[in-house]
Amino acid sequence: MEDYTNVLRKIGHNFRIERTKKRLSQEAFAELTNVHVNYIGKIERGEQNLTIKKIVNICNSLGITINEIFK
């Protein structure tokens, strides 16, 4: 059984991977997803509890599927 903090870290790590694949800085990624840059940092460090809606919005902004984030 997974601890939710580990899941958040994995999701954040996967978002970071996808962001860097697209050669986006955290600032550019924040602008693309219409959130504050500090929020992006918290997501990538696994400190931000995300709603499904926010995950879907971020995935859509990156042009990726949810499956890619939950792999």
pLDDT at 2: 75
Amino acid at 5: T
Helices (H) and strands (E) in the chain, counts: 5, 0
19 touches 29 (CB < 8 A) = yes
For the chain, list the domains and their CATH numbers.
4-69 (1.10.260.40)
- The predicted pLDDT at position 39 comes to 96
pLDDT for 1 equals: 67
Q: What angle do CA 15, 30, 35 make, to 5 degrees?
A: 105
Q: Give the helix/strand (H/E) hosting 25.
A: none
Mean pLDDT per block of 10 residues along the chain (71 residues) reads 88 96 96 94 95 95 93 82
